[in-house]
Amino acid sequence: MTNLIEIKGVTHAYKTDNGPLPVLDNLNISVPEGDFCAVVGPSGCGKSTLTKLVAGLMRPDQGEVWLHGQRVTSPRSTVGMAFQNPVMLEWRTILQNVLLPLEIVPNKMSKKQKEDRARELLALVGLEGFEDKRPSELSGGMRQRASLCRAIVHKPDVLIMDEPFGALDAFTREDLWQTMHRLREEEPFTGVLITHDLRESVYLADEVIVLSGRPATTQHVENVKLGGRTDLEVIYTPEATEILHRLRHQIEIAQGRAKDEEAA
Amino acid sequence: MKHWKKVATPTIAIVIFLALWEFIVWVNQWPNYKMASPSDLIPAYTKYWNLFLIYGWQTLWRTVVGLLVAVVFGTLIGMIMGFSRTMRDALYPLLVGFNAIPKATVVPVIALILIGHHDLNTVLIAFMISFFPISVAVSIGLSTLEPEYRDILRSLGASKWTIFWKIALPKTLPEFFGALKVAVTLAFIGTNLMEIVEPHGKGLGHLFDSGKINADYPLMFAVLIALAFLGILLYYIVVGLEKIFAGWAERPQG
Protein backbone atom coordinates (compact mmCIF):
# COMPACT_ATOMS: atom_id res chain seq x y z
CA MET A 1 0.00 0.00 0.00
CA THR A 2 1.27 3.46 -0.84
CA ASN A 3 1.52 6.03 1.88
CA LEU A 4 -0.09 9.34 1.07
CA ILE A 5 1.76 11.21 3.78
CA GLU A 6 5.33 10.27 4.53
CA ILE A 7 7.32 12.12 7.16
CA LYS A 8 10.91 10.92 7.22
CA GLY A 9 13.39 11.81 9.91
CA VAL A 10 12.10 15.32 10.43
CA THR A 11 14.01 17.45 12.90
CA HIS A 12 13.12 21.06 13.52
CA ALA A 13 14.08 23.83 15.91
CA TYR A 14 12.79 27.37 16.37
CA LYS A 15 15.25 30.20 16.64
CA THR A 16 14.71 32.13 19.84
CA ASP A 17 16.69 34.79 21.68
CA ASN A 18 18.01 32.06 23.98
CA GLY A 19 19.32 29.94 21.14
CA PRO A 20 17.57 27.21 19.13
CA LEU A 21 14.55 25.53 20.70
CA PRO A 22 14.26 21.99 19.31
CA VAL A 23 10.63 20.91 18.81
CA LEU A 24 10.80 17.86 16.56
CA ASP A 25 13.52 15.23 16.74
CA ASN A 26 13.84 12.60 14.03
CA LEU A 27 10.10 12.22 13.62
CA ASN A 28 8.77 9.47 11.35
CA ILE A 29 5.10 9.17 10.43
CA SER A 30 3.42 7.52 7.48
CA VAL A 31 -0.27 7.63 6.74
CA PRO A 32 -1.75 5.32 4.08
CA GLU A 33 -4.20 6.79 1.59
CA GLY A 34 -7.70 7.11 3.01
CA ASP A 35 -6.58 6.61 6.59
CA PHE A 36 -7.29 8.90 9.44
CA CYS A 37 -4.37 9.48 11.72
CA ALA A 38 -4.54 11.17 15.10
CA VAL A 39 -1.49 12.70 16.71
CA VAL A 40 -1.54 13.10 20.48
CA GLY A 41 1.11 14.23 22.91
CA PRO A 42 1.82 16.45 25.88
CA SER A 43 1.04 20.11 25.28
CA GLY A 44 3.80 22.15 23.70
CA CYS A 45 5.43 19.10 22.16
CA GLY A 46 5.41 20.42 18.60
CA LYS A 47 2.11 19.10 17.28
CA SER A 48 1.18 22.37 15.60
CA THR A 49 4.61 22.59 13.99
CA LEU A 50 3.84 19.23 12.43
CA THR A 51 0.70 20.61 10.73
CA LYS A 52 2.64 23.52 9.28
CA LEU A 53 5.26 21.16 7.89
CA VAL A 54 2.69 18.92 6.20
CA ALA A 55 0.88 21.96 4.80
CA GLY A 56 4.16 23.23 3.38
CA LEU A 57 3.94 26.46 5.35
CA MET A 58 7.33 25.68 6.88
CA ARG A 59 10.32 23.62 5.82
CA PRO A 60 11.99 21.33 8.33
CA ASP A 61 15.64 21.86 9.29
CA GLN A 62 16.32 18.23 8.49
CA GLY A 63 14.33 15.39 7.02
CA GLU A 64 11.65 15.26 4.36
CA VAL A 65 7.89 15.53 4.07
CA TRP A 66 6.31 13.72 1.13
CA LEU A 67 2.72 13.97 -0.11
CA HIS A 68 1.50 11.70 -2.88
CA GLY A 69 5.05 10.73 -3.78
CA GLN A 70 6.14 14.37 -4.11
CA ARG A 71 8.39 16.18 -1.74
CA VAL A 72 6.70 19.12 -0.02
CA THR A 73 8.70 22.31 -0.31
CA SER A 74 5.93 24.91 -0.56
CA PRO A 75 2.18 25.15 0.12
CA ARG A 76 0.02 23.04 -2.15
CA SER A 77 -3.67 23.27 -2.89
CA THR A 78 -4.21 19.54 -2.31
CA VAL A 79 -4.25 20.26 1.41
CA GLY A 80 -7.16 21.50 3.47
CA MET A 81 -6.74 22.98 6.93
CA ALA A 82 -8.95 23.52 9.97
CA PHE A 83 -7.83 25.12 13.22
CA GLN A 84 -9.09 25.31 16.78
CA ASN A 85 -10.04 28.91 15.99
CA PRO A 86 -12.44 28.52 13.04
CA VAL A 87 -11.27 31.90 11.60
CA MET A 88 -14.36 32.78 9.60
CA LEU A 89 -14.15 35.87 7.42
CA GLU A 90 -16.71 37.99 9.27
CA TRP A 91 -17.56 40.15 6.26
CA ARG A 92 -18.67 37.16 4.21
CA THR A 93 -21.72 34.96 4.51
CA ILE A 94 -21.27 31.34 5.53
CA LEU A 95 -21.66 30.25 1.92
CA GLN A 96 -19.05 32.76 0.72
CA ASN A 97 -16.72 31.58 3.48
CA VAL A 98 -16.96 28.00 2.29
CA LEU A 99 -16.37 29.15 -1.29
CA LEU A 100 -13.08 30.87 -0.41
CA PRO A 101 -10.70 28.01 -1.39
CA LEU A 102 -12.43 27.67 -4.77
CA GLU A 103 -11.58 31.32 -5.48
CA ILE A 104 -7.89 30.60 -4.96
CA VAL A 105 -7.26 27.04 -6.11
CA PRO A 106 -7.30 26.82 -9.91
CA ASN A 107 -10.34 24.84 -11.08
CA LYS A 108 -12.74 24.58 -13.99
CA MET A 109 -15.97 24.78 -12.03
CA SER A 110 -18.65 27.29 -12.98
CA LYS A 111 -20.02 29.68 -10.38
CA LYS A 112 -23.16 27.56 -10.14
CA GLN A 113 -21.18 24.35 -9.67
CA LYS A 114 -19.10 25.90 -6.92
CA GLU A 115 -22.18 27.12 -5.08
CA ASP A 116 -23.91 23.77 -5.43
CA ARG A 117 -20.85 22.03 -4.05
CA ALA A 118 -20.66 24.37 -1.07
CA ARG A 119 -24.39 24.07 -0.33
CA GLU A 120 -24.15 20.30 -0.53
CA LEU A 121 -21.35 20.24 2.05
CA LEU A 122 -23.14 22.66 4.35
CA ALA A 123 -26.23 20.45 4.23
CA LEU A 124 -24.06 17.44 5.03
CA VAL A 125 -22.81 19.02 8.26
CA GLY A 126 -26.29 20.21 9.21
CA LEU A 127 -25.99 23.87 8.27
CA GLU A 128 -28.79 23.92 5.72
CA GLY A 129 -30.61 27.25 5.93
CA PHE A 130 -27.61 29.08 7.37
CA GLU A 131 -25.90 29.73 4.02
CA ASP A 132 -26.66 33.45 3.98
CA LYS A 133 -26.04 34.13 7.66
CA ARG A 134 -22.95 35.96 8.87
CA PRO A 135 -20.45 34.01 11.01
CA SER A 136 -21.22 36.28 13.98
CA GLU A 137 -24.77 34.92 14.00
CA LEU A 138 -23.56 31.33 14.48
CA SER A 139 -22.52 29.41 17.58
CA GLY A 140 -18.97 28.12 18.05
CA GLY A 141 -19.92 24.59 17.01
CA MET A 142 -21.69 25.83 13.87
CA ARG A 143 -18.72 27.98 12.93
CA GLN A 144 -16.44 24.96 13.27
CA ARG A 145 -18.78 22.94 11.03
CA ALA A 146 -18.59 25.67 8.41
CA SER A 147 -14.82 25.76 8.78
CA LEU A 148 -14.69 21.99 8.09
CA CYS A 149 -16.71 22.53 4.91
CA ARG A 150 -14.28 25.22 3.85
CA ALA A 151 -11.34 22.91 4.51
CA ILE A 152 -12.63 20.22 2.14
CA VAL A 153 -14.64 22.17 -0.45
CA HIS A 154 -11.80 21.98 -3.00
CA LYS A 155 -11.54 18.19 -2.53
CA PRO A 156 -8.07 18.14 -0.99
CA ASP A 157 -6.23 14.84 -0.69
CA VAL A 158 -5.24 15.64 2.85
CA LEU A 159 -7.23 17.28 5.60
CA ILE A 160 -5.08 18.65 8.42
CA MET A 161 -6.88 19.56 11.61
CA ASP A 162 -5.20 21.25 14.54
CA GLU A 163 -7.35 20.65 17.62
CA PRO A 164 -10.48 21.59 15.70
CA PHE A 165 -12.89 20.69 18.49
CA GLY A 166 -10.72 21.84 21.40
CA ALA A 167 -12.71 24.97 22.21
CA LEU A 168 -16.16 23.34 22.10
CA ASP A 169 -18.23 22.01 24.98
CA ALA A 170 -18.31 18.24 25.47
CA PHE A 171 -21.69 17.58 23.84
CA THR A 172 -21.09 19.80 20.85
CA ARG A 173 -17.78 18.06 20.45
CA GLU A 174 -19.45 14.65 20.32
CA ASP A 175 -21.88 15.97 17.72
CA LEU A 176 -18.97 17.11 15.58
CA TRP A 177 -17.21 13.77 15.93
CA GLN A 178 -20.23 12.14 14.35
CA THR A 179 -20.26 14.82 11.66
CA MET A 180 -16.64 13.91 10.90
CA HIS A 181 -17.59 10.28 10.36
CA ARG A 182 -20.43 11.34 8.07
CA LEU A 183 -18.08 13.57 6.08
CA ARG A 184 -15.57 10.77 5.68
CA GLU A 185 -18.23 8.45 4.29
CA GLU A 186 -19.29 11.00 1.68
CA GLU A 187 -15.96 12.65 0.98
CA PRO A 188 -13.05 10.27 1.23
CA PHE A 189 -9.89 12.04 2.34
CA THR A 190 -6.76 11.25 4.24
CA GLY A 191 -6.77 13.00 7.55
CA VAL A 192 -4.31 14.14 10.16
CA LEU A 193 -5.95 15.15 13.41
CA ILE A 194 -3.92 16.90 16.07
CA THR A 195 -5.71 16.56 19.38
CA HIS A 196 -5.24 16.30 23.12
CA ASP A 197 -8.44 14.34 23.61
CA LEU A 198 -7.68 10.62 23.73
CA ARG A 199 -11.34 9.57 23.37
CA GLU A 200 -11.57 11.75 20.29
CA SER A 201 -8.49 10.14 18.78
CA VAL A 202 -9.79 6.62 19.41
CA TYR A 203 -13.28 7.39 18.10
CA LEU A 204 -12.16 9.12 14.92
CA ALA A 205 -8.78 7.71 13.90
CA ASP A 206 -7.53 4.51 12.32
CA GLU A 207 -4.24 4.97 14.02
CA VAL A 208 -3.09 7.08 16.92
CA ILE A 209 0.47 8.33 17.13
CA VAL A 210 1.76 9.34 20.54
CA LEU A 211 4.52 11.92 20.45
CA SER A 212 7.07 12.19 23.21
CA GLY A 213 7.61 15.43 25.09
CA ARG A 214 9.60 18.19 23.43
CA PRO A 215 11.57 17.68 21.26
CA ALA A 216 8.94 15.31 19.89
CA THR A 217 9.67 11.99 18.36
CA THR A 218 7.35 9.09 17.56
CA GLN A 219 6.95 7.27 20.84
CA HIS A 220 4.11 4.88 20.17
CA VAL A 221 1.78 3.92 17.30
CA GLU A 222 -1.58 2.44 18.17
CA ASN A 223 -3.76 0.81 15.53
CA VAL A 224 -7.40 1.35 16.36
CA LYS A 225 -9.67 -1.48 15.26
CA LEU A 226 -13.21 -1.04 16.45
CA GLY A 227 -14.94 -3.01 13.72
CA GLY A 228 -15.93 0.03 11.70
CA ARG A 229 -18.50 1.17 14.26
CA THR A 230 -19.24 4.88 14.20
CA ASP A 231 -21.82 5.20 16.97
CA LEU A 232 -20.74 6.99 20.14
CA GLU A 233 -21.37 3.87 22.26
CA VAL A 234 -18.27 2.31 20.75
CA ILE A 235 -16.12 4.51 22.99
CA TYR A 236 -17.43 2.57 26.00
CA THR A 237 -16.71 -0.94 24.70
CA PRO A 238 -13.97 -2.98 26.41
CA GLU A 239 -11.81 -2.85 23.27
CA ALA A 240 -11.88 0.94 23.19
CA THR A 241 -11.29 1.19 26.91
CA GLU A 242 -8.25 -1.03 26.58
CA ILE A 243 -6.81 1.18 23.83
CA LEU A 244 -7.55 4.31 25.84
CA HIS A 245 -5.76 2.77 28.76
CA ARG A 246 -2.66 2.05 26.72
CA LEU A 247 -2.67 5.55 25.23
CA ARG A 248 -3.10 7.11 28.66
CA HIS A 249 -0.07 5.21 29.87
CA GLN A 250 1.97 6.33 26.85
CA ILE A 251 1.06 9.94 27.51
CA GLU A 252 2.25 9.58 31.08
CA ILE A 253 5.54 8.26 29.79
CA ALA A 254 5.73 11.19 27.38
CA GLN A 255 5.13 13.59 30.23
CA GLY A 256 7.88 11.88 32.17
CA ARG A 257 5.51 10.78 34.94
CA ALA A 258 5.67 7.05 34.32
CA LYS A 259 8.63 4.82 33.59
CA ASP A 260 8.65 2.50 30.60
CA GLU A 261 7.29 -1.06 30.92
CA GLU A 262 10.56 -2.61 32.11
CA ALA A 263 11.01 -0.20 34.98
CA ALA A 264 7.37 -0.45 36.02
CA MET B 1 -42.01 54.38 11.78
CA LYS B 2 -38.43 53.45 12.50
CA HIS B 3 -37.11 55.51 9.59
CA TRP B 4 -39.16 58.47 10.63
CA LYS B 5 -37.73 58.25 14.13
CA LYS B 6 -34.16 58.14 12.83
CA VAL B 7 -34.57 61.57 11.21
CA ALA B 8 -36.87 63.05 13.83
CA THR B 9 -34.67 62.37 16.88
CA PRO B 10 -31.62 64.37 15.75
CA THR B 11 -33.85 67.10 14.25
CA ILE B 12 -35.67 67.59 17.55
CA ALA B 13 -32.31 67.66 19.34
CA ILE B 14 -31.08 70.43 17.04
CA VAL B 15 -34.31 72.46 17.48
CA ILE B 16 -34.01 72.17 21.28
CA PHE B 17 -30.39 73.28 21.08
CA LEU B 18 -31.27 76.36 19.00
CA ALA B 19 -34.17 77.26 21.28
CA LEU B 20 -31.95 77.00 24.34
CA TRP B 21 -29.33 79.16 22.68
CA GLU B 22 -31.92 81.80 21.76
CA PHE B 23 -33.33 81.69 25.27
CA ILE B 24 -29.98 82.14 27.03
CA VAL B 25 -29.05 85.14 24.86
CA TRP B 26 -32.50 86.67 25.45
CA VAL B 27 -32.45 86.12 29.24
CA ASN B 28 -29.00 87.64 29.60
CA GLN B 29 -29.80 90.49 27.22
CA TRP B 30 -26.50 89.94 25.40
CA PRO B 31 -25.84 92.30 22.50
CA ASN B 32 -25.01 90.54 19.24
CA TYR B 33 -21.31 91.52 19.41
CA LYS B 34 -21.02 89.53 22.59
CA MET B 35 -23.09 86.56 21.55
CA ALA B 36 -25.32 86.41 18.50
CA SER B 37 -28.55 84.44 18.78
CA PRO B 38 -29.96 82.09 16.15
CA SER B 39 -32.47 84.76 15.08
CA ASP B 40 -29.57 87.11 14.32
CA LEU B 41 -28.16 84.55 11.91
CA ILE B 42 -31.09 84.53 9.52
CA PRO B 43 -30.42 88.08 8.21
CA ALA B 44 -26.74 87.19 7.82
CA TYR B 45 -27.61 84.18 5.66
CA THR B 46 -30.19 86.01 3.53
CA LYS B 47 -27.84 88.96 3.01
CA TYR B 48 -24.77 86.92 2.06
CA TRP B 49 -26.31 83.72 0.73
CA ASN B 50 -24.29 83.85 -2.53
CA LEU B 51 -21.04 84.26 -0.58
CA PHE B 52 -21.97 81.33 1.64
CA LEU B 53 -22.53 79.15 -1.41
CA ILE B 54 -19.29 80.15 -3.15
CA TYR B 55 -17.07 80.10 -0.06
CA GLY B 56 -18.80 77.05 1.38
CA TRP B 57 -18.10 75.14 -1.81
CA GLN B 58 -14.44 76.24 -1.76
CA THR B 59 -14.06 75.04 1.82
CA LEU B 60 -15.84 71.78 1.11
CA TRP B 61 -13.95 70.72 -2.00
CA ARG B 62 -10.55 71.62 -0.59
CA THR B 63 -11.30 69.68 2.58
CA VAL B 64 -12.45 66.67 0.58
CA VAL B 65 -9.38 66.72 -1.68
CA GLY B 66 -7.12 67.03 1.40
CA LEU B 67 -8.95 64.08 2.93
CA LEU B 68 -8.62 61.98 -0.21
CA VAL B 69 -4.87 62.61 -0.29
CA ALA B 70 -4.75 61.74 3.42
CA VAL B 71 -6.62 58.49 2.75
CA VAL B 72 -4.24 57.44 -0.03
CA PHE B 73 -1.05 58.51 1.74
CA GLY B 74 -2.23 57.42 5.19
CA THR B 75 -3.24 53.98 3.93
CA LEU B 76 0.11 53.57 2.18
CA ILE B 77 2.10 54.49 5.28
CA GLY B 78 -0.22 52.29 7.35
CA MET B 79 0.39 49.35 5.00
CA ILE B 80 4.15 49.80 5.15
CA MET B 81 4.05 49.92 8.95
CA GLY B 82 1.51 47.11 9.19
CA PHE B 83 3.49 44.64 7.12
CA SER B 84 7.03 45.39 8.26
CA ARG B 85 8.10 45.51 11.88
CA THR B 86 11.30 47.32 10.97
CA MET B 87 9.45 50.04 9.12
CA ARG B 88 7.01 50.36 12.02
CA ASP B 89 9.85 50.89 14.47
CA ALA B 90 11.47 53.35 12.08
CA LEU B 91 8.42 55.42 11.16
CA TYR B 92 6.42 55.61 14.39
CA PRO B 93 8.61 58.16 16.21
CA LEU B 94 8.75 60.31 13.07
CA LEU B 95 5.00 60.22 12.64
CA VAL B 96 4.23 60.87 16.29
CA GLY B 97 6.69 63.75 16.32
CA PHE B 98 5.17 65.21 13.20
CA ASN B 99 1.68 64.86 14.60
CA ALA B 100 2.70 66.46 17.90
CA ILE B 101 3.63 69.75 16.20
CA PRO B 102 0.58 72.04 16.55
CA LYS B 103 -0.62 72.62 13.01
CA ALA B 104 -1.49 76.23 13.89
CA THR B 105 2.26 76.87 13.92
CA VAL B 106 2.78 75.09 10.61
CA VAL B 107 0.06 77.06 8.84
CA PRO B 108 1.95 80.39 8.58
CA VAL B 109 5.07 78.55 7.44
CA ILE B 110 3.24 76.73 4.66
CA ALA B 111 1.35 79.93 3.78
CA LEU B 112 4.69 81.66 3.30
CA ILE B 113 6.39 78.86 1.38
CA LEU B 114 3.48 78.45 -0.99
CA ILE B 115 2.33 82.05 -1.04
CA GLY B 116 -0.35 82.70 -3.62
CA HIS B 117 -1.12 79.00 -4.15
CA HIS B 118 -4.37 79.22 -2.20
CA ASP B 119 -5.77 75.83 -3.14
CA LEU B 120 -2.51 73.94 -2.86
CA ASN B 121 -1.52 75.19 0.59
CA THR B 122 -5.05 74.70 1.98
CA VAL B 123 -5.28 71.15 0.68
CA LEU B 124 -1.80 70.49 2.04
CA ILE B 125 -2.72 71.53 5.58
CA ALA B 126 -6.00 69.60 5.47
CA PHE B 127 -4.02 66.55 4.43
CA MET B 128 -1.21 67.02 6.97
CA ILE B 129 -3.56 67.33 9.90
CA SER B 130 -5.75 64.35 9.00
CA PHE B 131 -3.58 61.50 7.70
CA PHE B 132 -2.13 60.41 11.06
CA PRO B 133 -5.18 58.60 12.51
CA ILE B 134 -5.66 56.80 9.19
CA SER B 135 -2.05 55.54 9.16
CA VAL B 136 -2.26 54.33 12.74
CA ALA B 137 -5.60 52.57 12.20
CA VAL B 138 -4.46 50.78 9.04
CA SER B 139 -1.13 49.70 10.54
CA ILE B 140 -2.81 48.35 13.68
CA GLY B 141 -5.48 46.60 11.62
CA LEU B 142 -2.86 44.88 9.48
CA SER B 143 -0.40 43.99 12.23
CA THR B 144 -3.09 42.41 14.43
CA LEU B 145 -4.27 40.02 11.72
CA GLU B 146 -4.50 36.56 13.32
CA PRO B 147 -1.88 34.22 11.82
CA GLU B 148 -4.54 31.57 11.15
CA TYR B 149 -6.14 33.83 8.52
CA ARG B 150 -2.87 34.00 6.67
CA ASP B 151 -2.20 30.27 7.09
CA ILE B 152 -5.59 29.32 5.63
CA LEU B 153 -4.88 31.25 2.45
CA ARG B 154 -1.17 30.47 2.26
CA SER B 155 -1.81 26.75 2.58
CA LEU B 156 -3.92 27.05 -0.58
CA GLY B 157 -1.02 28.65 -2.41
CA ALA B 158 -2.41 32.20 -2.39
CA SER B 159 -0.06 35.06 -3.24
CA LYS B 160 0.71 37.92 -0.83
CA TRP B 161 -1.47 40.20 -2.93
CA THR B 162 -4.42 37.78 -2.73
CA ILE B 163 -4.03 37.58 1.05
CA PHE B 164 -4.04 41.38 1.24
CA TRP B 165 -7.02 41.77 -1.07
CA LYS B 166 -9.19 38.98 0.32
CA ILE B 167 -8.40 39.21 4.02
CA ALA B 168 -6.17 42.02 5.27
CA LEU B 169 -8.00 44.81 3.45
CA PRO B 170 -11.61 43.91 4.35
CA LYS B 171 -10.60 43.03 7.91
CA THR B 172 -9.04 46.48 8.38
CA LEU B 173 -12.04 48.43 7.03
CA PRO B 174 -13.86 48.94 10.36
CA GLU B 175 -10.73 50.46 11.93
CA PHE B 176 -10.18 52.49 8.79
CA PHE B 177 -13.65 54.02 8.88
CA GLY B 178 -13.34 54.75 12.59
CA ALA B 179 -10.19 56.74 11.81
CA LEU B 180 -11.80 58.42 8.80
CA LYS B 181 -14.54 59.86 11.01
CA VAL B 182 -11.86 61.50 13.15
CA ALA B 183 -9.96 62.61 10.05
CA VAL B 184 -13.02 64.37 8.58
CA THR B 185 -13.28 66.83 11.45
CA LEU B 186 -9.50 67.27 11.57
CA ALA B 187 -9.39 68.09 7.85
CA PHE B 188 -11.99 70.85 8.39
CA ILE B 189 -9.83 72.34 11.10
CA GLY B 190 -6.86 72.29 8.73
CA THR B 191 -8.72 73.94 5.87
CA ASN B 192 -10.10 76.69 8.08
CA LEU B 193 -6.83 77.42 9.83
CA MET B 194 -5.28 78.16 6.45
CA GLU B 195 -8.28 80.11 5.18
CA ILE B 196 -8.26 82.38 8.23
CA VAL B 197 -4.51 83.00 8.27
CA GLU B 198 -4.03 83.58 4.57
CA PRO B 199 -4.40 87.13 3.24
CA HIS B 200 -6.89 87.52 0.37
CA GLY B 201 -7.97 83.96 0.99
CA LYS B 202 -10.95 81.94 -0.04
CA GLY B 203 -13.47 79.78 1.70
CA LEU B 204 -15.60 80.10 4.82
CA GLY B 205 -12.51 80.88 6.88
CA HIS B 206 -11.98 83.97 4.79
CA LEU B 207 -15.63 84.94 5.23
CA PHE B 208 -15.16 84.57 8.97
CA ASP B 209 -12.11 86.80 8.80
CA SER B 210 -13.93 89.54 6.88
CA GLY B 211 -16.78 89.32 9.41
CA LYS B 212 -14.19 89.98 12.09
CA ILE B 213 -12.64 92.93 10.22
CA ASN B 214 -16.04 94.51 9.60
CA ALA B 215 -17.24 93.83 13.15
CA ASP B 216 -20.14 91.84 11.65
CA TYR B 217 -20.58 89.45 14.57
CA PRO B 218 -23.73 87.70 13.39
CA LEU B 219 -21.83 86.86 10.18
CA MET B 220 -19.02 85.24 12.17
CA PHE B 221 -21.50 83.07 14.06
CA ALA B 222 -23.27 82.26 10.82
CA VAL B 223 -19.95 81.00 9.40
CA LEU B 224 -19.40 78.78 12.43
CA ILE B 225 -22.83 77.23 11.99
CA ALA B 226 -22.22 76.77 8.25
CA LEU B 227 -18.96 74.96 9.08
CA ALA B 228 -20.78 72.75 11.54
CA PHE B 229 -23.31 71.94 8.82
CA LEU B 230 -20.58 70.97 6.33
CA GLY B 231 -18.88 68.87 9.00
CA ILE B 232 -22.10 66.99 9.74
CA LEU B 233 -22.70 66.50 6.01
CA LEU B 234 -19.27 65.00 5.38
CA TYR B 235 -19.44 62.90 8.54
CA TYR B 236 -22.68 61.27 7.46
CA ILE B 237 -21.31 60.60 4.00
CA VAL B 238 -18.51 58.64 5.71
CA VAL B 239 -21.09 56.84 7.87
CA GLY B 240 -22.98 55.92 4.69
CA LEU B 241 -19.81 54.55 3.07
CA GLU B 242 -19.04 52.63 6.24
CA LYS B 243 -22.49 51.01 6.17
CA ILE B 244 -21.87 49.88 2.60
CA PHE B 245 -18.30 48.61 2.96
CA ALA B 246 -18.00 47.62 6.62
CA GLY B 247 -21.62 47.12 7.67
CA TRP B 248 -20.79 43.51 8.60
CA ALA B 249 -18.81 44.72 11.61
CA GLU B 250 -21.97 46.06 13.24
CA ARG B 251 -23.38 43.43 15.55
CA PRO B 252 -27.13 43.02 15.72
CA GLN B 253 -28.32 44.67 18.93
CA GLY B 254 -30.29 43.11 21.75
Q: Which amino acid is it at A24?
A: L
Convert the pLDDT of each residue in B78-104 to its tens digit: 999 988 889 999 998 999 998 888 888
For chain B, the first-to-last Cα distance in angstroms comes to: 19
* Contact between chains at A91 and B173 (C-beta distance less than 8 A): yes
For residue A55, what pLDDT is reported? Answer: 86
Backbone angles phi, psi at B116, to 5 degrees: 90, -25
For residue B252, what pLDDT is reported? Answer: 57
Backbone angles phi, psi at A29, to 5 degrees: -140, 135
Work out the minimum CA distance from A54 to partner chain B, whole angstroms: 10
pLDDT band at residue A264 using 50, 70 and 90 as cut-offs? very low
Convert the pLDDT of each residue in A11-36 to its tens digit: 888 888 888 888 888 888 888 888 88
Whether A83 has its CB under 8 Å from any CB of chain B: the answer is yes
Give the residue on B whose Cα is nearest the Cα of A150.
B152
pLDDT exceeds cutoff 80 at B187: yes
CA atoms of A240 and B106, how far apart (whole Å): 77
Q: Which of A74, A92, A104 sits opposite B153 (nearest CB)?
A: A104
**Mean pLDDT computed over B40-59:** 91
Which residues on chain B are in Cβ contact (under 8 Å) with A92? 248
Whether A52 has its CB under 8 Å from any CB of chain B: the answer is yes
Domain extents for chain B?
1-30, 40-248
**Mean pLDDT computed over A95-100:** 92
Helix, strand, coil % over all residues of chain A, rounded to 5: 35, 25, 40
Pick the range with the lowest mean pLDDT from B10-24, B72-86, B194-208.
B194-208
For residue A260, what pLDDT is reported? Answer: 56
pLDDT exceeds cutoff 90 at B77: yes
For residue B62, what pLDDT is reported? Answer: 93
* Contact call for residues B91 and B81 (beta carbons, < 8 A): yes
Give the residue on A whose Cα is nearest the Cα of B146.
A87
pLDDT exceeds cutoff 90 at B235: yes
Q: For residue A10, how many other CB atoms are within 10 A of its CB?
A: 25
* Contact between chains at A77 and B156 (C-beta distance less than 8 A): yes
CATH topology assigned to domain B40-248: MetI-like fold (1.10.3720)
pLDDT exceeds cutoff 70 at B1: no
Work out the minimum CA distance from A229 to partner chain B, whole angstroms: 32
Whether A167 has its CB under 8 Å from any CB of chain B: the answer is no
For residue A255, what pLDDT is reported? Answer: 78
Q: What distances in angstroms separate CA A230 from CA A198, A204, A226, one per listed residue? A: 16, 8, 9
Bridge partner residues of A64 (DSSP) = A8
Give the residue on B whose Cα is nearest the Cα of A58.
B155
pLDDT band at residue B24 using 50, 70 and 90 as cut-offs? very high
pLDDT band at residue B17 using 50, 70 and 90 as cut-offs? very high
pLDDT exceeds cutoff 90 at B63: yes
pLDDT exceeds cutoff 60 at B254: no
Work out the minimum CA distance from B139 to partner chain A, whole angstroms: 19
* Contact between chains at B248 and A55 (C-beta distance less than 8 A): no
Work out the minimum CA distance from B9 to partner chain A, whole angstroms: 29
For residue B28, what pLDDT is reported? Answer: 92
Convert the pLDDT of each residue in B94-143 to its tens digit: 999 988 888 888 888 888 888 777 788 899 999 999 999 999 999 988 88
CA atoms of B194 and B208, how far apart (whole Å): 12
Give the residue on B whose Cα is nearest the Cα of A74.
B157
Convert the pLDDT of each residue in A119-128 to its tens digit: 988 988 888 8
Q: Which residue has the higher pLDDT, B3 or B251?
A: B3
Q: Which of A76, A85, A91 sits opposite B157 (nearest CB)?
A: A76
* Contact between chains at B157 and A75 (C-beta distance less than 8 A): yes
Whether A202 has its CB under 8 Å from any CB of chain B: the answer is no
Interface mutation target, options A104, A137, A147, chain B, most CBs of B under 10 Å = A104
Q: Which of A77, A80, A83 sits opposite B157 (nearest CB)?
A: A77
Give the residue on B whose Cα is nearest the Cα of A156.
B156
Q: Which amino acid is it at B10?
A: P
pLDDT exceeds cutoff 90 at A243: no
Convert the pLDDT of each residue in A31-69 to its tens digit: 888 888 899 887 766 777 888 888 888 888 888 888 888
For residue A17, what pLDDT is reported? Answer: 84
* Contact between chains at B170 and A91 (C-beta distance less than 8 A): yes
Give the residue on B whose Cα is nearest the Cα of A160.
B155
pLDDT exceeds cutoff 90 at A185: no
Coil, strand or helix at B76: helix
The per-residue pLDDT of chain A, averaged, comes to: 84
pLDDT exceeds cutoff 60 at A261: no
**Mean pLDDT computed over B180-197:** 91
Work out the minimum CA distance from A92 to partner chain B, whole angstroms: 8
Which residues on chain B are in Cβ contact (under 8 Å) with A100? 152-153, 166
Interface of A with B in 139-158 (CB under 8 A): 150, 154
The per-residue pLDDT of chain B, averaged, comes to: 88
